[in-house]
Structure 1
Amino acid sequence: MSEVILYTGNAFSVADGKGRFVLPLEMRRQVKLSSGNETRLFLSVHGGNPCATGFGESHRRHLFTEVEELAREARAAGRDYDADLELERRLGTIEEVNFDDGGRFAMHPDIKEEYGITDAVFFYGVGRYIQIWKPETLVDSKDRPELIRNKVCRWLDQRTAGGAR
């Protein structure tokens, strides 16, 4: 689990009849690798974008280790640093969910409500974690790459026309 896991790629998921989403296959493999072959997905809020994040155990540990390193650097430089507050910000919003062999998982209701997620999400691998967007929000996020925004816009248009699932 010490190896850095990098998530790339993107995919859509429409909730099933039980409200579960499907984690894309390659991302599912990476999450399992990151979590010691367990089907544990950690969900949280993004610090700067209006989306949720998903990742495995190795990234959760990385978040903790990073705060410890920042605290050491601050002490060495004689600067104030509230490590407890930073741990609250980074770890306090994490919710653990399990996914089945098909990648189905129930998104935590607080996270769904925070981002207005109802019946569809867009998974976007961006390195150490996966961004999980409400598709309409991503389209409106002008800082996202145009290629990705256009892809999501086309999917939404097809869905409205009855073609995308």
Structure 2
Amino acid sequence: MSDAILYSGNAFSVADGKGRFVLPLEMRKLVVQASAGANKLCLSIHLDNGCATGFGLSHKQFLFDEVEELERLAREAGRDFNGDLERENRLGMIEDVNFDDGGRFFLHPDIKDEAGITDAVFFYGVGRYFQIWKPERLVESSDRPALIRNKVKRWIEARAAGATK
């Protein structure tokens, strides 16, 4: 059995008055575990989905090791492989941020802009990392499961009606 940290579940967060979001408790516990006990969150952009991603430090090492393995396999098969470019794509966009014991953190402005995030996010655990979505963008993403899209749509509607923040 693998000792990988696996994220699942989902939650919403609305930015506080300082612009901080709150990492959900269960995800926060796993990030701390994956970051050797530190309150250190790695944030990046998902190149295909248009959302941000989050994970602990151990996943950053996994990404590096994965490129090393791809490089080795390409070399053995006599295929071209640009390991430097692959490391740039996987590691070059990662921003390490601290979060307090309550899970509050600032989402890097570049990542917010790329993901279209303003004042609310939807955390979505999908395995070795979790996705951080602008709720409206997730609803528009037909590739996401209908159950999740409908949940987020109901939250957006309730928020617009003043039933939630």
Task: Normalising by structure 2, report the TM-score.
Answer: 0.98
Write out aligned runs for 1:37-48 (5 A).
37-48=37-48
Write out aligned runs for 1:34-113 (5 A).
34-113=34-113
Query: Is 1:15 paired with 2:15?
Result: yes
Whole-Å Cα distance in 2 between the matches of residues 112 and 95 of structure 1?
A: 12
AA of the residue aligned to 1:155: W
Whole-Å Cα distance in 1 between the matches of residues 47 and 157 of structure 2?
A: 29
Whole-Å Cα distance in 2 between the matches of residues 56 and 41 of structure 1?
A: 5
How far off its partner does 1:30 sit? 0.3
Whole-Å Cα distance in 1 between the matches of residues 115 and 37 of structure 2?
A: 29
* Partner-residue secondary structure (3-state), 2:8: coil
AA of the residue aligned to 2:141: S
Whole-Å Cα distance in 2 between the matches of residues 143 and 79 of structure 1?
A: 32
- Deviation track 1:33-90 (CA, whole Å, cap 9, x = no partner) reads 0000100000001021010000001110000000000000000000010000000000
AA of the residue aligned to 1:72: R
How far off its partner does 1:115 sit? 1.6
AA of the residue aligned to 1:20: R
Between the two proteins, what is the percent identity of the paired residues? 70
Q: Which residue does 1:150 correspond to in 2?
A: 150
AA of the residue aligned to 2:110: D
Whole-Å Cα distance in 1 between the matches of residues 116 and 51 of structure 2?
A: 10
* Partner-residue secondary structure (3-state), 2:142: coil
* Partner-residue secondary structure (3-state), 2:131: strand
AA of the residue aligned to 1:24: P
Q: Which residue does 2:24 correspond to in 1?
A: 24
AA of the residue aligned to 1:51: C
Q: Which residue does 2:137 correspond to in 1?
A: 137
Question: Which consecutive unaligned segments of at least 5 residues does structure 2 have?
Answer: none
* Partner-residue secondary structure (3-state), 1:73: helix
AA of the residue aligned to 1:62: F
Query: Is 1:4 paired with 2:1?
Result: no
* Partner-residue secondary structure (3-state), 1:137: helix
Task: Normalising by structure 1, report the TM-score.
Answer: 0.98
Aligned residue pair count? 164
